[in-house]
């Protein structure tokens, strides 16, 4: 396996896009390629994620994207894994480059859903779960993660303020991120007064429906000896799965696919959690960040909420978590989310994160979950 790098990255501002997903994807892709000091013709293959392309009456986005980039002969593949689609695409790019099948690959994730009303968007998201056995029983995505929150609260006695601390922190980070959907801080009082969506989760526990696009360029070190910026060395790239239906899993207070992915990623990287300096984790709901910190091995079960409330995971805390604002505040344009986590780490490594820059950016981890954990990606990045 060849040493493989992320050599370029770009994102647009998440939120509501005026342009189509196709236009946004091509625009960020070109910016990512240029940030790597490359040209589109240097790309050997494009891995595209656009799980809800049907919302724009468009499938098979790859050839359209490559044509817009002036490389129509370059192959593409669409990678769908619900909310972890573009981290799954990154894994595929990594496998191809590290394995010597490609020298450089483009990963692009894009979603445009803001033109849908809440009912339609909620219904679309629900089919990312098991339609006949979860959604048909009344489950929505907030509802599914809320059952984790209810089981977790029952077992560990979690207080609402612990979930609220995740929301307040991530909004504070998002307020410093020009890519973020929400660039406004919230207070604990605002959190506690927000309406219940799916008990015990409130409005401010939930990530928004966002439009957005993010792209990254993956290349073999031996082909890019002098990268333009500081590359991310991919120390680990792991994909895992678990029983798709939450209710059929042995436990309800976390995600087995996250635990397995972390275990394998740390082994692949030859690192342990204490060597990770900051994280981008999948916080589609506040409880998801708390569960992730425990599943990934950073906190013992039942303790991550208290640590968050005590400020350990703030930008200047012991372990900065989601300096980008996470899905919660940066936004969650489903298929762009995984790639955007890597954009954040790329900007942090290159000192481009401005007011949200973390103190130490040498080793970082990205964690991206598909739906309720039927699929999961963990990537670990280091410096040259």
Partner 1 sequence: MLEPTVPTVHSIAEFRTAYEDGQRLPGLRSGCGFVTATWGLVCPRCGKADLSEVDLSGRGRVVALSIQHVPSDEFLNEVPYAYVIVELEEGGRIAGWVAGVADESVLSIGSRVHWAPSYKPGVQFARDDPSPEGGSAP
Residues near partner 1 (CB under 8 A): 118-120, 122-123, 126, 130, 132-140, 142-144, 146-151, 154, 195-201, 243, 245-248, 252
| Closer by beta carbon to partner 1, 142 or else 338 | 142
Give the SS3 label for residue 243: coil
Long-range Cβ pairs for the range 126-130 (8 Å, 24+):
128/51, 128/82, 128/83, 128/370, 128/371, 129/371, 129/372, 130/244, 130/245
Beta strands in the chain (DSSP E): 4-11, 45-49, 76-78, 104-111, 196-198, 201-202, 212-220, 232-241, 278-280, 363-370, 375-382
Q: Exposed, middle or buried, 141 (CB in 10 Å: 0-12/13-18/19+)?
A: buried
Sign of CA dihedral 76, 53, 70, 72: positive
Give Cα separations from 165 to 173, 191, 218, 359 (angstroms): 12, 9, 35, 21
* In the complex, minimum distance from the CB of residue 301 to partner 1, in angstroms, rounded to a whole number: 16
* In the complex, minimum distance from the CB of residue 94 to partner 1, in angstroms, rounded to a whole number: 28
| Closer by beta carbon to partner 1, 32 or else 82 | 82
The token pair that represents 138 in the structure block: 């009344």
| Closer by beta carbon to partner 1, 148 or else 233 | 148
In degrees rounded to 5, what are phi and psi of residue 140?
A: -115, 175
Active site residue 376: no
In degrees rounded to 5, what are phi and psi of residue 71?
A: -130, 60
| Closer by beta carbon to partner 1, 63 or else 301 | 301
* In the complex, minimum distance from the CB of residue 209 to partner 1, in angstroms, rounded to a whole number: 12
* In the complex, minimum distance from the CB of residue 155 to partner 1, in angstroms, rounded to a whole number: 10
* In the complex, minimum distance from the CB of residue 216 to partner 1, in angstroms, rounded to a whole number: 33
| Closer by beta carbon to partner 1, 192 or else 196 | 196
Question: Per-residue b/e over 323-334, b at no fewer than 16 CB within 10 Å?
Answer: bbbbbbbbbbbb
* In the complex, minimum distance from the CB of residue 112 to partner 1, in angstroms, rounded to a whole number: 20
| Closer by beta carbon to partner 1, 93 or else 146 | 146
Angle between helices 21-35 and 61-68 (to 10 degrees): 50
In degrees rounded to 5, what are phi and psi of residue 70?
A: 80, 20
DSSP notation for 275-324: G--EEE---SBHHHHHHHHHHTTSS-TT-HHHHHHTTTTSTTSSS-B-TT
* In the complex, minimum distance from the CB of residue 249 to partner 1, in angstroms, rounded to a whole number: 9
Q: Which residue in the list 332, 367, 376, 379 is annotated as catalytic?
A: 332
Active site residue 83: yes
Q: Which residue in the list 83, 206, 207, 284 is annotated as catalytic?
A: 83
| Closer by beta carbon to partner 1, 136 or else 383 | 136
For the annotated catalytic residues, the residue numbers are 83, 332
């Amino acid at each position: 396996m060849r040493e493989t790098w992320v050599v370029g990255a770009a994102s647009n501002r998440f939120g509501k896009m005026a342009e189509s997903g196709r236009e946004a994807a091509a625009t960020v892709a070109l910016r990512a390629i240029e940030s790597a000091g490359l040209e589109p013709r240097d790309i050997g293959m494009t891995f595209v994620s656009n799980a809800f392309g049907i919302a724009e009456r468009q499938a098979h986005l790859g050839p359209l994207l490559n044509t817009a980039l002036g490389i129509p002969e370059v192959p593409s593949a669409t990678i769908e894994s619900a909310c972890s689609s573009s981290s799954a695409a990154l894994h595929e790019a990594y496998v191809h480059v590290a394995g010597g099948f490609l020298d450089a690959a483009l990963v692009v994730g894009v979603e445009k859903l803001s033109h849908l009303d809440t009912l339609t968007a909620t219904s679309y998201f629900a089919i990312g779960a098991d339609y006949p056995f979860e959604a048909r029983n009344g489950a929505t995505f907030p509802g599914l993660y809320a059952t984790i929150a209810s089981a977790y609260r029952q077992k560990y006695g979690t207080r609402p303020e612990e979930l609220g601390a995740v929301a307040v922190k991530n909004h504070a980070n998002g307020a410093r991120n020009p890519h973020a959907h929400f660039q406004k801080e919230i207070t604990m009082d605002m959190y506690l007064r927000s309406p219940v969506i799916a008990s015990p989760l409130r409005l401010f526990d939930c990530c928004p429906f966002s439009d957005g696009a993010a792209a990254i360029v993956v290349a073999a070190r031996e082909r890019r000896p002098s990268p333009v910026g500081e590359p991310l060395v991919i120390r680990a790239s792991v994909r895992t799965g678990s029983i798709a239906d939450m209710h059929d899993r042995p436990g309800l207070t976390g995600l087995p696919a996250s635990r397995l992915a972390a275990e394998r990623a740390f082994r692949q990287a030859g690192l342990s959690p204490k060597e990770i300096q900051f994280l981008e984790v999948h916080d589609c709901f506040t409880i998801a960040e708390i569960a992730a910190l425990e599943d990934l091995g950073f906190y013992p079960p039942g303790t991550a909420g208290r640590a968050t409330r005590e400020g350990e995971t703030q930008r200047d805390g012991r372990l900065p978590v989601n300096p980008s604002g996470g899905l919660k505040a940066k936004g969650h344009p489903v298929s762009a989310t995984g790639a955007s986590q890597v954009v954040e780490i790329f900007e942090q490594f290159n000192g481009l994160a401005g007011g949200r820059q973390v103190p130490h950016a040498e080793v970082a981890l990205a964690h991206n979950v598909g739906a309720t954990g039927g699929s999961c990606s963990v990537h670990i990045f280091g410096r040259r």
